[in-house]
Chains A and B, each alone.
Chain A
Amino acid sequence: MTKPPIDLLQGTVDVLILRTLAWEPMHGYGVARFIRQRTEGVLTIESAALYQALHRLERKKWIRAEWGLSENNRRAKYYSLTADGRKQLREEAATWRSYAEAVFKVLEPV
């Protein structure tokens, strides 16, 4: 299995998770499902990477975890965005947007 550059991968996963949790607190499975549906299957993130990212972001205090009840009445760990996380999301989204714009500027004239 070849691995893409780890920083890019981590950064991408992180910002997607932060954006997802900006909607509402979710458990890990919910985040995975949301991203899959939202990107219509174009971006598939390995769930392993997703969970690693969740715990990493929790450590960074961008998200926090609480146990709650799932839609089918099971105990599940819900993640929600912290104030720090929200700030981080804004910054990363801006970076991504300018990155994408720059790439498009190169591609457009074709």
Chain B
Amino acid sequence: MARPRRYLRFPWRSSSRLRADLEEELRFYFDMRTRELVEQGMSDADARREAVREFGDVEYTKRYCLAEDAMSRREERRTDYVAELRQDMMHSWRTFRRSPGFAVIALLTLALGIGANTAIFSVVNGLLLRDLPFGEPDRVVRVWGAHKDSGVDRSQISAGDFIDLRTRQRSFTALGAFAWGGGTYIGTGDPVRLSGARVDANVFRALGVRPYLGRTFVAGEDSSGVNPTIVLGFGAWRRVFGGDSSIVGKTVNISGRANTVIGVLPPTFFFPTMAEAEIFTPLDLTPLLRDVNRSRKFHNLGAIGLLRPGVTVAQAGAELKGIAAQLERDFPQSNSNMTVATMGMRDAVVGDTRPALLVLLGASLLVLLIACANVAGMLLSRAVSRRQELAVRAALGAGRARLVRQMMTESLILAMAGGAIGLAVALWGTHALVASAGDRLPAASQVTADATVLLTALAVSIASGVVFGLVPALAASRGIQLALKESGRGTSSGVSRHRMRTALVTGQLALAVMLLVGAGLLVRSLVGLQKRDLGYSIESTLTFELILAGDRYDSGAAQDQFFDALYARLEALPGVVAVGGSGNIPLRGGASASLAIDGRPQPEGRLPEVGYQPVSDNLFKAMGVPLKRGRTFGPQDRQDSPPVVILSESAARAYWPNGDPIGARVRLGPNPNDPWMTVVGIVGDVRIGVDGESRPTAYVSGRQDHWGGMAIVMRTTSEPTSLLPAVRREVRALDRTIPVSDAYSMKQVRTQGLTDRRLPMQLMAAFALLALVLAAVGVYGVMAYSVAARTREIGVRVALGAQPRNVFGMVVRQGMGAAAAGLTLGLLGAAALGRVLTSLLYGVKPTDVFTFVGVAGVLLAVVLAACLVPARRAVRVDPLEALRSE
């Protein structure tokens, strides 16, 4: 009897019990003392009175003792609890040691489930939940131009409209405008192309930026005639300027102009909706405002405002829309059907990623549920083999609550250990996720594992421990009475437990089916996008951007000379088929211009808008865009020759539905004094971006509209990027101050464009695969258990003449039954939930039959495979042994 006290000691006593004990203790004292005094010769009554008198303060003593007892009881309870917890933990440890296979599989399952969740959550946390790095992030608002007729709601605003909006509005304490900017830094080494924005002083005020060094712009700095200044982003400052801490006050050469550095922005800052911007120069609106043809017709501005306290985004939006309506009435020629759109900055920044992230978060939750169901199933099976152990513990006095607690301790230990591994998985996964998403994730730098993420992982672990632990624990404790009576033959509790496991597996299969359908739809979308005809060829094509910098390129002739020389040099390179240049490549979007046609009446409101690109002579050849009619541009089209234009097929069809546009005269852009341009050719349509459609487009010769830069397209016979060193050499030979930037093969550009579709697809596919494997393990587990539990029954059947084929079929049928149920539920669920995917799909319906059928096939095959091993084991059951073993 080493430690008998554990079982024999008082259980925790109630307060009334404590009081009764004390009364009894004192009564014993008084009785004994009274008897002693009587023996000394006192009368009974006197003796009792004397005993009480000499005792002292009885009432106080009682209170004192009760208080002490209550304190001991509390402490006892606590130490007991701790001791039991330790005991449970040691017990769990021993249990896991005894079945390491179970522990490893359970841990891995949980680690993957929890890890996937935590990784996705940390991205969601960084992008959707955390504050943007602005002074008052909830009051920052993005303002766009919008077209009521075409439904375009994220376009630019004209300078004239912006000034009117700014002066008339009362909703914002600051409303600032910005436009594309950037330039080429020309230092001592190679020139560097830097993306940037031109901003007015109000933009940084609205964003509430505290500069890392120096200051940001002040009012008045943005007017012309002032010395040019520049603010550097943290990244550019570190990368290009070596983190020079005394840079403020120095001048840097940007595109041939000397700019004085006045400040450096903090590392957390990113420019919202233009996150790639790294240098900021003042925005001067006066030239545009002075130009009557462009002040309201040239849309190039974005706007950012800081709401006045108490004003909502909706109120501000309504006010601005009112002002826009006024402008529409005042300037119908430029503003008809034009309005503005407003959005809180968080929505503006994460808007496109939100649905994908939420879908992925949901998917990772489903994976976690499947993982929990798996572990729960494993625990249920184990509970069977542990029935004897539990029964012994119950016989030794452990109550049902105590046993449940012990099993819950086991589950929680599993969950916490799984969570710890899962966290490691998550840290790695988050890293990989951010790395592969790269610049497609706005503010990716904000995605880190912070306290919120760690706490979430902890909470998820505990929650999963409770979820997968409670059911088996309750089931096991219920089975104990039965276990005490019999030795574990096919009992009724065994049947109900088996039913529970089958239900778990059915649920798992249903969830896996939903994930598979989701993944299948995304894969189909991506494949569709990759296969679709863009209207030009992206095979063996290299593209890069050249921006001319410096005063010597002010004249169009100088630009023509540079580009003509460049095209000649590049076409002379071995392995080059054709070289062209374009304002933008279609994968990256494009500009637009209004279209007026000679001889047709001026429309009531605005002129129609068409796509607009200046292109070089050989661009269509280099891109592989077919010429449908007429001619392309050639050396005869010069700056001083009659202006010409080439239309896309859809433009020709849209504006000359019955006639021939060749020879017709059009005017592009808002200036009525510009000369008419003659249509000389028609080319095939090209699609814009990776998933956009084609739009009616007008092409002009790069020699007749000079942009100061071109996106170069080279068709090659070899691997396009292998030509890059030669390309850089040729460019440097022409002008060493001009950087070759954004150099990629056209395929790489498309790949980049597909990143924000590919990433959700890959993750979804990974989740679906994980879900499928987990569900298969679940099916295998339940079938193996079922065969083991039915060994005797199978033995009887075989003894009575059942053929192996029948036995095999019986097992497989049982598995396929669960599969069919899970499949039906899953497909119904997928059909119901498919709508949440709509925004992520391209060219497939959420209820795509092909996907659904494919998923059904995959699932049935996997379940069949999972049933094979148990079924073969059933076939091999030896009837004699099976019958004897009981």
- Residues of A that sit less than 8 Å from B by CB: 27-29, 32-33, 46-49, 51-52, 54-56, 58-59, 70, 74-77
B54 touches A47 (CB 8 A): yes
Chain A residue at smallest Cβ distance from B74:
A59
B28 touches A27 (CB 8 A): yes
CB-CB under 8 A from B65, the residues of chain A are 51-52, 54-55
Whether B7 is near chain A, meaning CB under 8 Å from some CB there, is no
A28 touches B25 (CB 8 A): yes
The distance from the CB of A62 to the nearest CB of chain B, in whole angstroms, is 12
Whether B655 is near chain A, meaning CB under 8 Å from some CB there, is no
Whether B12 is near chain A, meaning CB under 8 Å from some CB there, is no
Complex CA gap A47/B29 in Å reads 9
Which stretch of B56-64, B365-373, B553-561 is in the interface?
Answer: B56-64
A29 touches B56 (CB 8 A): no
A47 touches B56 (CB 8 A): yes
Prevailing SS type, chain B contact patch: helix
The distance from the CB of B37 to the nearest CB of chain A, in whole angstroms, is 12
Complex CA gap A33/B33 in Å reads 9
B69 touches A59 (CB 8 A): yes
B72 touches A70 (CB 8 A): no
A48 touches B69 (CB 8 A): no
A77 touches B69 (CB 8 A): no
Whether B24 is near chain A, meaning CB under 8 Å from some CB there, is yes
Complex CA gap A47/B57 in Å reads 9
The distance from the CB of A55 to the nearest CB of chain B, in whole angstroms, is 4
Tell which of B33, B36, B64, B69 has the most Cβ of chain A within 10 Å.
B64
CB-CB under 8 A from A46, the residues of chain B are 54-56
The distance from the CB of A35 to the nearest CB of chain B, in whole angstroms, is 14
B56 touches A77 (CB 8 A): no
A58 touches B28 (CB 8 A): no
Complex CA gap A54/B25 in Å reads 11
Complex CA gap A28/B31 in Å reads 12
CB-CB under 8 A from A33, the residues of chain B are 36
B72 touches A48 (CB 8 A): no
B71 touches A59 (CB 8 A): yes
Given contact pairs A46-B56, A77-B25, A51 touches B61 in the complex (Cβ within 8 A): yes
B29 touches A48 (CB 8 A): no
- Residues of B that sit less than 8 Å from A by CB: 21, 24-26, 28-29, 31-33, 36, 54-58, 60-61, 64-65, 68-69, 71-72, 75
Q: Would you list the 6 A-B pairs with minimal beta carbon distance, nearest first?
A: A48-B56, A46-B56, A55-B68, A55-B65, A59-B72, A48-B61
The distance from the CB of A9 to the nearest CB of chain B, in whole angstroms, is 12
The distance from the CB of B411 to the nearest CB of chain A, in whole angstroms, is 34
Complex CA gap A59/B79 in Å reads 13
Partner of A29, one of B28, B69, B71, B75: B28
A29 touches B55 (CB 8 A): no
A59 touches B68 (CB 8 A): yes
B61 touches A77 (CB 8 A): no
Complex CA gap A29/B51 in Å reads 12
CB-CB under 8 A from B29, the residues of chain A are 28-29, 32, 47, 51
Chain B residue at smallest Cβ distance from A49:
B56
Partner of A58, one of B54, B56, B72: B72
Given contact pairs A47-B56, A49-B56, A55 touches B69 in the complex (Cβ within 8 A): yes
A75 touches B24 (CB 8 A): yes
Complex CA gap A58/B270 in Å reads 66
Tell which of A52, A70, A75 has the most Cβ of chain B within 10 Å.
A52
11 residue pairs of the A-B complex, CB under 8 angstroms, read A28-B25, A28-B28, A28-B29, A29-B28, A46-B56, A51-B26, A52-B64, A52-B65, A59-B71, A74-B28, A76-B28
The distance from the CB of B488 to the nearest CB of chain A, in whole angstroms, is 40
CB-CB under 8 A from B33, the residues of chain A are 29, 47
CB-CB under 8 A from A27, the residues of chain B are 25, 28
Complex CA gap A59/B74 in Å reads 10
Chain A residue at smallest Cβ distance from B69:
A55
Complex CA gap A74/B72 in Å reads 25
Complex CA gap A32/B75 in Å reads 28
The distance from the CB of A102 to the nearest CB of chain B, in whole angstroms, is 31
Chain A residue at smallest Cβ distance from B54:
A47
CB-CB under 8 A from B72, the residues of chain A are 58-59
B58 touches A48 (CB 8 A): yes
Given contact pairs A55-B69, A59-B68, A77-B21, A48 touches B60 in the complex (Cβ within 8 A): yes
The distance from the CB of B72 to the nearest CB of chain A, in whole angstroms, is 4
Tell which of B55, B58, B69 has the most Cβ of chain A within 10 Å.
B55
B28 touches A48 (CB 8 A): no
CB-CB under 8 A from B24, the residues of chain A are 75, 77
The distance from the CB of A83 to the nearest CB of chain B, in whole angstroms, is 13
CB-CB under 8 A from A56, the residues of chain B are 68
CB-CB under 8 A from A55, the residues of chain B are 64-65, 68-69
Tell which of A32, A46, A51 has the most Cβ of chain B within 10 Å.
A51
The distance from the CB of A75 to the nearest CB of chain B, in whole angstroms, is 7
CB-CB under 8 A from A29, the residues of chain B are 28-29, 32-33
The distance from the CB of B24 to the nearest CB of chain A, in whole angstroms, is 7
Complex CA gap A46/B28 in Å reads 17
Complex CA gap A45/B398 in Å reads 44
CB-CB under 8 A from A28, the residues of chain B are 25, 28-29
Partner of B28, one of A49, A54, A77: A77
CB-CB under 8 A from B31, the residues of chain A are 74
Chain B residue at smallest Cβ distance from A48:
B56
Complex CA gap A75/B24 in Å reads 8
A48 touches B57 (CB 8 A): yes
The distance from the CB of A51 to the nearest CB of chain B, in whole angstroms, is 5
Complex CA gap A70/B25 in Å reads 12
CB-CB under 8 A from B21, the residues of chain A are 77
Chain A residue at smallest Cβ distance from B75:
A59
Chain A residue at smallest Cβ distance from B70:
A59
Partner of A70, one of B28, B57, B75: B28
Complex CA gap A52/B63 in Å reads 9
Complex CA gap A46/B33 in Å reads 13
CB-CB under 8 A from A58, the residues of chain B are 68-69, 72
The distance from the CB of A12 to the nearest CB of chain B, in whole angstroms, is 16
CB-CB under 8 A from B56, the residues of chain A are 46-49
Chain A residue at smallest Cβ distance from B66:
A55
CB-CB under 8 A from A77, the residues of chain B are 21, 24-25, 28
Chain A residue at smallest Cβ distance from B26:
A51
A48 touches B55 (CB 8 A): yes
Complex CA gap A54/B72 in Å reads 12
Complex CA gap A57/B725 in Å reads 89
Complex CA gap A75/B20 in Å reads 13
> With A52-B61, A58-B69 given, can you name 7 additional A-B contacts, CB distance below 8 Å?
A29-B29, A29-B32, A46-B56, A48-B58, A49-B56, A51-B29, A54-B65
Complex CA gap A98/B24 in Å reads 40
CB-CB under 8 A from A52, the residues of chain B are 61, 64-65, 68
Complex CA gap A49/B56 in Å reads 8
CB-CB under 8 A from B75, the residues of chain A are 59
